[in-house]
Structures are given as structure tokens and as C-alpha cells.
Amino acid sequence: MIGGLLHYKDRGENMEKALLSLNEVCEYTGWGKTKAREILKRKNSNFTVRLGNRLYVNKKLFDEYLERCAKYHIPI
């Protein structure tokens, strides 16, 4: 654990965050906080990680979710 959030190594030597905060999700997707919270609080979201009352996103699972939505034209 580095700086409060988990990190993992990509294929090179760069460190990339494994968990994204709500603000980082908004920055990453271009969504507003209300829309991001709505999606993260869904019971079927397997990418949401709750730490206390805070919501984080498992970036790898979230990327897979976004790719599935794009591939199969699933509305978010």
C-alpha cells in the first residue's frame, strides 16, 4: 500500500493506481460526481470498493465494465 491506496505494476516499471477515488473517476470518465456516485452505489457493480463511507473503484474491473458497455452498446 502506497500513499493510502493500492498500486500495481504494469508491464514496465511504472506504478499505476489499482483503486480510484470518486474525484479520480470523475476526472477519468468526464462524469459529474452525482452520476459517478449513482453508478458506484449500484448493487451489481463488481468494481466498487467501500472503505468506511468512502467509495473507490477497482480500475481494472472498471475498465472491463466500460469496455463491455461500449462493445455491446449497454447504456451506463
Q: What is the pLDDT of residues 64-75, one digit of tens each?
A: 999 999 999 999
- DSSP class per residue in 11-48: SSS-EEESEEEHHHHHHHH---HHHHHHHHT-TT-TTE
Reported residue count of the chain is 76
Q: What is the pLDDT of residues 7-22, one digit of tens each?
A: 665 566 678 899 999 9
The Cα 54–Cα 51 span in angstroms is 5
Q: What is the pLDDT of residues 28-66, one digit of tens each?
A: 999 999 999 999 999 999 999 999 999 999 999 999 999
What is the pLDDT at residue 15? 84
Domains of the chain: 7-71 (3.90.105.50)
Tell if the pTM clears 0.85, that is, is over it: no
Reply yes or no on whether the pLDDT at 5 is more than 70: no
